[in-house]
Amino acid sequence: MDLNLLFNLANFFVLPFWLLMIFLPNWEITQKIMKSYLLFLPLIFLYIYLFITGLNPNSIETLSNPQLADLAKVFSDPTITFAGWVHFLVLDLFLGRYIYWEGQTEKVWTIHSLILCLFAGPMGFLSHIITRTIQLNLFNKNNTSVEVS
Residue 43 belongs to some domain of the structure? yes
The pLDDT, as a whole number, for residue 148 is 39
Cα dist from 138 to 112, 142, 145, whole Å: 18, 6, 13
How much is the pLDDT for 142?
60
Structural domain total, the chain:
1
Q: Helices 78-106 and 28-35 meet at what angle, rounded to 10?
A: 120
Residue 148 domain-assigned? no
Q: Which of 11, 84, 3 is nearest to 42 (CA)?
A: 11
Note if the pTM is more than 0.85: yes
In a domain, 37, yes or no: yes
CA angle 104, 108, 112 (to 5 degrees): 105
- Structural domain contains residue 24: yes
Domain membership of residue 19 as a residue range = 3-142
pLDDT tens, N- to C-terminus, the chain (149 residues): 799 999 999 999 999 999 999 999 999 999 999 999 999 999 999 999 999 999 899 889 998 999 999 999 999 999 999 999 999 999 999 999 999 999 999 999 999 999 999 999 999 999 999 999 999 998 766 655 444 33
Model pLDDT, residue 138: 86
Per the domain annotation, does 147 fall within a domain? Answer: no
Question: How many angstroms separate the CA atoms of 89 and 45, rounded?
Answer: 13
